[in-house]
Structure 1
Amino acid sequence: MATITRATRIRNPALFICDIQEKFRPVIHEFSKLIPTTTKLLRATAPLNIPIYITTQNRSKLGPTIPELTPHLSASNLIADIDKTLFSMITPEIDALLPNTRTGEQALDVLIVGIETHICVTQTTLDLLERGHRVYVIVDGVSSVNEGERRVALERLRDAGAVVTSSESVLFEILGDAGHPGFRGVSGLVKEMKEETKGAMEVFSRI
């Protein structure tokens, strides 16, 4: 009997950025390490033509998306920038924009970064999996107030069918070939941010 596996290559990537907001800056574990990871992925969306979905949680109380990210959000591939009260990013507005896998539309390979891992990231991931999409939780791009909650959430999400992986890994998987037209831009970006990536991985890869 053939072995059933969830392993698959990233074919239809989308970047989801969950609630990286000003009011969370002083309280989230290693918040500063999330910024370069998210920036790197955002900058890679242009050469790789990856759509972007971003949310804020109750923006009037918790503040806007941090200013370090906003210069990279004006690209034509920004699909949604939604304020919400739901914990999940899959609001009715975003749900309406997603491919409908039940009618045969191609599933997304969602790369998700943001906060908090055990609340909004978890609920978003579960909602996406339920809709037939694949989810890649970027280990160097998610955090919580409590480091322990983050670790427990990542274990749960793996069990649920998400892939926990790194930002550098997914970028080179999307490229797939040094002959890809985006290779020079993405590989240069990875080299430019290698120290920031190293710092984030040293903090966040222990799960």
Structure 2
Amino acid sequence: MTATSLLTPADCAVVLVDEQAGLAFATGSADRQALRSNAIALARTARAFDIPVVVSTSASKVYSGPLMPPLRAVLPEVTPVERRNMNLWEDDAAKAAVIGTGRPTLVFAGLLTEACVSFPVLSALKDGHEVRVVADACGGLTPESHRAALQRMQQAGAVLTSWLQFLLEMQRDWTRHDTYEAARSIVVDHGGGYGIGLDYARDMIHPA
């Protein structure tokens, strides 16, 4: 895969890092509710397209808390890999879970952008993996430090994307009926005006 290649569901695995309330409290780069909504949309996209998901948490019993409840609801069968290192790639169990997906492209999102997202991204890139970062599902301490972390990852070779672009890249064609309803419902719930437009279009085609 290259930066110009379009992904398919068979190409990638999603890695969610430290989606925990204690870290969300510290996030100042974007609206916290929007960040949580974007992370949920990404997790739902992975489920809709049967993409493997690896979840890792840190300090869940002493500071950060468990994986946030809405994500637990979307991913009930996924057991988070708890670690001590900021860098998921330096934790044997967490790294093994990611490598174990066998997917060539890793799609990262989480908290905080400056460390627990950027460190494993940089390490995975160094090890030769293709990496995409869902920028609007990552939160940093400040807008400036979040942007700096994204720039550093991009300069190292990561491809930046958004949850909506990722979903549309997976769906590619709204006539793909197997995933249409799931993909549409994610956009309706999380896609703002675009989601409102999809509801409107359905009402116009099939009036209530």
TM-score class, shorter-chain normalisation, is 0.7 to 0.9
5+ residue gaps in structure 2? 196-208
Moved >6 Å (runs of 4+)? none
Once the two structures are aligned, what percentage of the paired residues are identical? 22
3-state SS of paired residue (1:61): coil
CA contact (8 A) 2:38 2:136 kept: yes
Provide the residue aligned with 1:108 in structure 2.
104
* TM-score between the two structures when normalised by the length of structure 1: 0.81
Asked if structure 1 preserves the Cα contact closer than 8 Å seen for 2:24 and 2:111, the reply is no
Q: Deviations over 1:71-123 (max 9, x none)?
A: 11214xx3x511111112222113223448xxxx9643222111111111110
Shift of 1:24: 2.1
Which stretch of structure 1 is more off in the superposition, 90-99 or 7-16? 90-99
Which of 172, 185, 188 matches 1:188?
185
Q: How far is 1:131 from its partner? A: 2.6
Does the Cα contact within 8 Å between 1:36 and 1:197 map onto a contact in 2?
Answer: no
1:148-197 CA distance string (max 9 Å, x none): 11011111111100011111111111222334321231123112322299
1 or 2, which has the higher helix percentage? 2
- How far apart, CA to CA, are the structure 1 residues paired with 2:194 and 2:129? 27
Q: Which residue of 2 aligns with 1:201?
A: none
Cα 1:113–1:196 change in 2 (3 A) is farther
* Cα distance in 1 between the residues matched to 2:124 and 2:194: 27
- Give me the CA root mean square deviation: 2.3
2:92 aligns with 92
2:94 match: secondary structure = helix
Q: Whole-Å Cα distance in 2 between the matches of residues 196 and 150 of structure 1?
A: 26
CA distance in 2, matches of 1:93, 1:160: 25
Are 2:34 and 1:33 aligned? yes
Decide whether aligned partners of structure 1 residues 47 and 26 sit closer, same or farther in structure 2, where only a CA change above 3 A counts. closer
Q: CA deviation at 1:26?
A: 2.5
Q: Distance in 1 between matches of 2:164 and 2:116?
A: 23
* Shift in alpha-carbon separation, 1:73–1:186, aligned structure 2, 3 A: same
The answer on whether the counterparts of 1:138 and 1:165 sit within 8 Å (CA) in structure 2 is yes
Cα pair 2:164 2:191 within 8 Å, conserved: no
Q: Residues 135 and 162 of structure 1 are in contact (CA less than 8 Å); yes or no, is this contact kept in structure 2?
A: yes
SS, match of residue 55 in structure 1: strand
Q: Does 1:137 align with 2:136?
A: no
SS at match of 2:88: coil
Within 5 Å, give how 1:140-179 maps onto structure 2.
140-179=136-175
1:117 is the counterpart of 2:113: yes
Q: How many angstroms does 1:68 deviate by? A: 2.2
Q: Could you tell me which amino acid in structure 1 is paired with residue 66 of structure 2?
A: P
Matched, 1:14 2:13: yes
Q: Distance in 2 between matches of 1:123 and 1:196?
A: 34
The separation in 2 between residues aligned to 1:160 and 1:187, in whole angstroms, is: 34
